[in-house]
Structure 1
């Protein structure tokens, strides 16, 4: 037991970093989901007015959320 040690100092910082990263991922996912749902609710004509096609919705939503 002479060599055993416990490191409790880094635990709080690691947990804080973990939860900050989790919060960031959840926020990005929320942005993706909201953007996707809003674009999917538009008619084909409205999408065309924006220069989009229905097949582009997923990519646009991904770019909006994860390219920030």
Structure 2
């Protein structure tokens, strides 16, 4: 059970870090990556798994 909690916390940290980093990028930088600003949370969720 504790292992499951640790895994979920680790995934959440990875998600937050990804959202924070992508949110700091300019619109042009996001476009270069092929990401729209409204897709940041989706991309972060996919990355955190």
TM category, shorter? over 0.9
In 1: Cα distance, 2:7 partner to 2:26 partner: 31
Provide the aligned length of Structure 1 versus Structure 2: 49
The structure with the largest helix share of the pair is 2
1:36 equivalent among 12, 15, 19 = 19
Q: Which runs of 4+ in 1 moved over 6 A?
A: none
- RCO comparison, higher one (Cα < 8 Å, 6+): 2
- The gaps in structure 1 that reach 5 residues or longer are 1-17
TM-score relative to the length of structure 1: 0.70
TM-score relative to the length of structure 2: 0.95
In 2: Cα distance, 1:55 partner to 1:34 partner: 17
In 2: Cα distance, 1:23 partner to 1:58 partner: 21
Matched, 1:22 2:13: no
Query: Deviation at 1:19?
Result: 0.7
Question: Considering only aligned residues, what root-mean-square deviation do their CA atoms show, in Å?
Answer: 0.5
